[in-house]
Amino acid sequence: MKHTSTVGKSNKAVMVLLILGLSTIIFPLYMTIVIAFKQPSEMTNSISGILSLPKNWSLDNFREAMEVTDFWRSLGNSLLISVTTIVLAIAIHSLMGYALGRNKAHSKFYNFVYLFIVSGMFVPFAILMMPLAKQTAELHIANWFGVILLYVVFYMPMNIMLYSGYLVNIPIALEEAARVDGASTWRTYWSIIFPVMRPMHATVAVITALAVWNDVMTPLIIMAGSGQNTLPLAQLNFQSQFGTNYNLAFASYLLSLIPILIFYAICQKQILNGVTNGAVK
């Protein structure tokens, strides 16, 4: 390869830029970690005070944060809701994205359905809150199941957009070959299209997981009073108008960051490995 030398050079420049950019992330992260280990009495308004290392690296804040949030139970609820939502999102949204993506260019009906659902993304949540609180109660699903159902509906517009966008680059010829072999559309989808969309599944999984993992509002209005907490709901305990225990809160946020980071690490490999060269276009 005659371009090797220039490629090597530009990569070094890219590295330098990436490392520089990283400082905008390392610094806040450093602050988060330091504060998570400090005691309230170590908090000051001076810069040297806030950037200094904690007096001792005790895990007490983490222990207390876990106690206050009833960590394992809340984590369990959060995991249950997130994992189910992701699985359903990938199954349902990819199917719908496929049905709409393949037809919207030539069918008025599918194009309308596509735009109808995508426009659902723009409905301000505040207007839905009251009616949804009422509706879920009427249907007796004012619990975690209702929350999952709502998530599947809330993230449908965005995910369908992503899936049908991805389909543009997947040639229809791939399906036609299978069709010639006599496979039904349903089967062709699961055996050919679904696997090819793997990078998109991973992307959707990450995006949906993030939105669900940090969401407070939906569980707050749907599950309130049910005695069940998700992690973000439990974390609300750290803040009130008249006083916030930042040290405990930060410790708790660091803890709840770990599962989603692991999940992301797994998914991002999928985003990378998905499309084999030449399979597309």
Select from 65, 81, 86, 96 the one that contacts other proteins (CB under 8 A): 96
Per CB under 8 A, contacts with other proteins among 10-29 are 10-11, 14-15, 17-18, 21-22, 24-26, 28-29
Per CB under 8 A, contacts with other proteins among 179-208 are 179, 184-187, 189-191, 194, 199-200, 202-203, 206-207
Q: Pattern of binders to other proteins over 227-256, x per CB under 8 A?
A: x----x--xxxxxxxxxxxx--xx--x--x
Residue with tokens 């699961």: 190
Among 255, 253, 245, smallest CA distance to 42 is for 245
Select from 59, 91, 177, 266 the one that contacts other proteins (CB under 8 A): 91
The residue range among 54-62, 75-83, 130-138 that interacts with other proteins, by the rule CB under 8 A, is 130-138
Q: Does 108 sit near other proteins (CB under 8 A)? A: no
Contacts 24+ apart (CB under 8 A), 174-178: 174/279
User: What's the one-letter identity of residue 16?
Assistant: V
- Residue 16: count of CB within 10 angstroms of its CB: 10
Q: Pattern of binders to other proteins over 23-62, x per CB under 8 A?
A: -xxx-xx-xx--x----xx-xxxxx--x------------
The residue range among 59-67, 74-82, 88-96 that interacts with other proteins, by the rule CB under 8 A, is 88-96
Alpha-carbon span 58 to 36, nearest angstrom: 10
Q: Which residues contact 250 (CB under 8 A, 6 or more apart)?
A: 32, 35, 36, 61
Q: Does the CA dihedral 160-116-92-278 come out positive or negative?
A: negative
Q: Does 174 sit near other proteins (CB under 8 A)? A: no
Alpha-carbon span 4 to 149, nearest angstrom: 52
By CB under 8 A, the count of residues binding other proteins is 138
Q: Does 71 sit near other proteins (CB under 8 A)? A: no
220 and 233 Cβ atoms separated by less than 8 Å: yes
